[in-house]
Amino acid sequence: MRNPFRWVDGERLIVFGRGTVEDAVDALGGPGYTLLTTARAKDAAPGIVAAADRLVMVPGGHVDQLAADMLSSVSGDRVVALGGGRVIDVAKALVAANGGRAMAVPTTLSGAEMTRIHRHAAGVNESTPRVRCAVVVIDPALAASQPEPDLAASSLNALGHAIEAPCVINANPVATLAAHEAARLLRAGWAAREPDRDTLALGSLLAGYALDNTGLALHHVLAQTLVRFAGVGPAP
């Protein structure tokens, strides 16, 4: 089990560790937020659901269209995403368009909670500044909770972030160090018979941090194109 920590990184708070989901409502600023989630995520964190003023279920689909469909009906000074990358990116897109603060409690290793990389809602001008989550609560028991085949795909997606970050023109020594450690952790998390979910969650966090500093490279551009036009799942 990894040691828990609280990390104030510029304008955002990152809370990591086993059991942090139990105290997530306090980290999110208390009850009264708008919550975006899915059926699987909702059932995994009932305390976060109970503290929401409004619950919005996010269906399958593309982030830009999902966010556009919600633009006129979903807002708030705190928009919390409890779910994977699709849910978190929709929350970021809504906040970019409507204002407020995006917050995230991830249930996969997508890394979306750590970056300002997201599609805008359809119709929103591309020059609109993108946002990253102001509060991130990563409980490995939740963030790495997927069944093993899905967790493996999610881990490889995170590894892609770590491998790309040192290779782009925006690479820098800090992001590269984080990326190297992320790759080591993501490999170590699968070294035993059972996946070490705490190690994988920390590796994903660092990989997302590196990606946020550097931006996407060709691997993810191609992968996201397959997702968008060929119907492939994001992690696979």
Query: Is residue 20 located within the same domain as residue 128?
Result: yes
Query: Is residue 152 located within the same domain as residue 103?
Result: no
The domain in which residue 69 lies consists of: 1-143
Closest CA to 12 of 176, 209, 170, 175: 209
Query: Are the beta carbons of 93 and 120 closer than 8 angstroms?
Result: yes
Query: How many angstroms separate the CA atoms of 81 and 37, rounded?
Result: 6
Segment 24-65, tens digit of pLDDT: 999 999 999 999 999 989 999 999 999 999 999 999 999 999
Query: Which CATH number fits the domain that encloses residue 118?
Result: 3.40.50.1970
- Residues 143-151 have a mean pLDDT of 96
Q: Please tell me the predicted confidence (pLDDT) of residue 229.
A: 86
Query: How many angstroms separate the CA atoms of 80 and 211, rounded?
Result: 22
Domain boundary among 124, 143, 162: 143
Query: Is residue 100 located within the same domain as residue 196?
Result: no
Tell me if residue 158 falls in helix, strand or coil: helix
* CB neighbour list of residue 232: distance below 8 Å, 6 or more residues apart: 223, 226
Query: How many angstroms separate the CA atoms of 98 and 77, rounded?
Result: 9
